[in-house]
Amino acid sequence: MPWDFTSDRPIFLQIIEKIQLEIVSGRYRPGDKLPSVRELAQEASVNPNTMQKALSELERTGLVYSHRTSGRFITEDAAMVSGLRAELAEKVVAQFLLDLQKLGFQKESALTLITNFIKGDEK
Amino acid sequence: MTLLECKGLTKKYCGYPALSNVDLQIGSGHIIGLLGPNGSGKTTLIKLIAGLLAPTEGTVSVVGCPIGVKSKGMVSYLPDYSYLNGSMKVKDIIRLFEDFYEDFDTARAYDMLAKLDINPGKKLKTFSKGAKEKVQLILVMSRRAKLYVLDEPIAGVDPAARDYILQTILSNYEEDASILISTHLVSDIEKILDEVIFIRNGSILTHASVDGLRQQGGRSIDTIFREVFKC
């Protein structure tokens, strides 16, 4: 199954986000070995150079590290993973508030909306 | 390493230029889209690289060799028409290719045929248009060439097979080889490209990295193509 990409942004950024999500959601666990660039490129149906660029960027941020000969691994730094989780959650919240603002809700009423929604959900 | 170099490349048909003064360099390890509207010179450029046409002016070289026997040993070319003998069985065509090209990998060819569910014992003319295209592409991708030039490789096949063919292209080239693909089906192919060349009226408009263009324009290559070549 080729990965889905939106058309308006560079593909390597979208690959980075996808791998970040898989780390945060636990599909890739700390210390897991990543498939090779070529295998990942095939799985995603993207150019190997694009995949390489995305992985180098993930390596630069420390989320992924490479062992000279044995390949690339997911970081074992749990604090870094939870930091990333918080960062991604913040982005979702920011986008959510922006969407509500477009509908005419201000921040305070957004909170009421959420509280009511959660209550309704529990009933 | 420069795989392909064109300098001042010009081709005229009966005095009318199809390509004018094209300078182009392609390095190794890239998949490059050659994109342009009908009549922009894509096929002419590809045929010059494959050595089927002689330039009117300028030069083409592959890994430093001028176009000739040596360059043809390094370039694997998929034409936009079928030149194979329809009354031959696929396995006989494979044997022919094996004889003809030193770099032909028979095991790879049979592997791809099996994955695409093509019976090598059948004659070529008994296949549908799409299946014939698949056979031709398999033959071309089974060579361990330095440069693959593919003229409209996915035009006649359905979207599901298209995905498989793109996978086939991705998984069957050597890491230091490059692939030049001409196509109109930009959106289908753009994620496997890392560079694109826009060509119009026989001249190169742009030669740039795909993600660079997407970042700059905030749009897909398909959308950029539609804007640049708007009729």
Angle formed at CA A106 by CA A102 and CA A109, multiple of 5 degrees: 120
Q: Count CB-CB contacts under 10 A for residue B181.
A: 26
The answer to whether residues A72 and A96 belong to one domain is no
Rounded Cα distance between A25 and B147, Å, is: 41
Partners of B187 on chain A (C-beta within 8 Å) are 7
CA distances from B18 to B48, B62, B97, B180, B203 (A): 11, 21, 31, 19, 9
Residue of A78, A68, A71, A43 whose CA lies nearest to A55: A71
Owning domain of residue B188: 2-228
3-class secondary structure, B100: helix
- Sole residue written with tokens 């035009």: B155
Q: Residue A114 has which token pair?
A: 């959420």
> How many separate domains does chain B show?
1
| Pairs of residues, one from chain A and one from chain B, whose beta carbons lie less than 8 Å apart | 57
Q: What is the pLDDT of residue B154?
A: 80
The two structure tokens encoding residue B172: 């069957």
What integer pLDDT is reported at residue B160 of this predicted model?
A: 79
Query: A39 with A93, same domain?
Result: no
Query: Measured between CB atoms, does B171 come within 8 Å of chain A?
Result: yes
With an 8 Å Cβ cutoff, are A2 and B220 in contact? no
Is A72 an 8 Å CB contact of chain B? no
Phi, psi (deg, nearest 5) at residue A39: -65, -45
Q: Which DSSP helix (H) or strand (E) runs through B53? A: none
Q: Which positions ≥6 away from B13 have C-beta within 8 Å?
A: none
CATH number where A40 lies:
1.10.10.10
What local confidence, expressed as pLDDT, does residue A1 receive? 57
Q: Which pLDDT belongs to residue A70?
A: 84
Question: Is A84 part of any domain?
Answer: yes
Set of chain B residues whose Cβ sits within 8 Å of the Cβ of A11: 191, 210-211, 214
Give residue A62's domain range.
11-76
> Which of B163, B175, B192 lies closest to A47 in CB terms?
B192
Residue B3 has a pLDDT of 93
Q: Work out the pLDDT band at B99, boundaries 50, 70, 90.
A: very high
Question: Residue A1 domain-assigned?
Answer: no
Look-up of token digits 């003229």: B151
Residues A17-31: tens digit of each pLDDT: 999 999 999 889 899
Determine the pLDDT at residue B75. 95
Pair A85, A113 in one domain? yes
- Other Cβ atoms within 10 Å of A50 Cβ, number: 25
pLDDT score recorded for residue A54: 95
Q: Is residue A66 assigned to a domain?
A: yes
- One domain for residues A50 and A90: no
CA distance A90 to chain B (A): 24
Does residue A64 sit in the same domain as residue A92? no
ipTM over 0.85: no
Same domain, residue pair A64 and A112: no
Does position B111 have pLDDT exceeding 60, yes or no?
Answer: yes
Any idea what the CATH number is for the domain that residue B44 is in? 3.40.50.300
Tokens of B136: 């031709």
The reply to whether residue A11 touches residue B219, judged by beta carbons under 8 angstroms, is no
Exposure of B48 in the CB half-sphere (CA atoms within 13 A): 29
Dihedrals phi, psi of B76, to nearest 5 degrees: -105, 120
Both A27 and A38 in one domain: the answer is yes
Say whether pLDDT at B178 is over 90: yes
pLDDT at B184 over 90: no
Whole-number pLDDT of residue B177: 92
Between chains, do A53 and B170 touch, taking CB under 8 Å as contact?
A: no
- Structure tokens given for B231: 């009729």
The pLDDT-based confidence of B110 (bands split at 50, 70, 90) is very high
In a domain, A49, yes or no: yes
Work out how many domains chain A is built from and give that number: 2
**Token pair of A36 as six digits:** 């090779």
Burial letters A4-24, b for 16+ CB under 10 A, else e: ebeeebbbbbbbbeebbeebb
DSSP class of residue B190?
G
Q: Say whether both A55 and A91 belong to one domain.
A: no
The pLDDT > 90 percentage for chain B reads 67
d(CA A81, CA A20): 9
Task: Mark whether A86 and A69 lie in a shared domain.
Answer: no
Residue A4 lies in a domain: no
- Chain B contact for A91 (CB, 8 A cutoff): no
B170·A42 Cβ contact <8 A? yes
Q: Which pLDDT does position A123 carry in this prediction?
A: 62
Residue A60 lies in a domain: yes
A92 shares a domain with A51? no
The 10 Å Cβ neighbour count of residue B112 is 22
Evaluate if residue B116 carries a pLDDT over 90.
no
Note the pLDDT tens digit of each residue in B59-96. Answer: 999 999 999 999 999 999 999 888 899 999 999 999 99
Percentages helix, strand, coil for chain B (3-state, rounded to 5) are: 35, 30, 35
B167 in reach of chain A (CB within 8 A): yes
The per-residue pLDDT for A122 is 67
The ranges of chain A with pLDDT < 50 are: none
Q: Are A8 and B219 in contact (CB < 8 Å)?
A: yes
Task: Find chain A residues with C-beta within 8 A of B193's C-beta.
Answer: 47
pLDDT digits 0-9 by tens, B5-39:
999 999 999 999 999 999 999 999 999 999 998 88
Shared domain for A86 and A36, answered yes or no, is: no
B33 → chain A, closest CA residue: A47
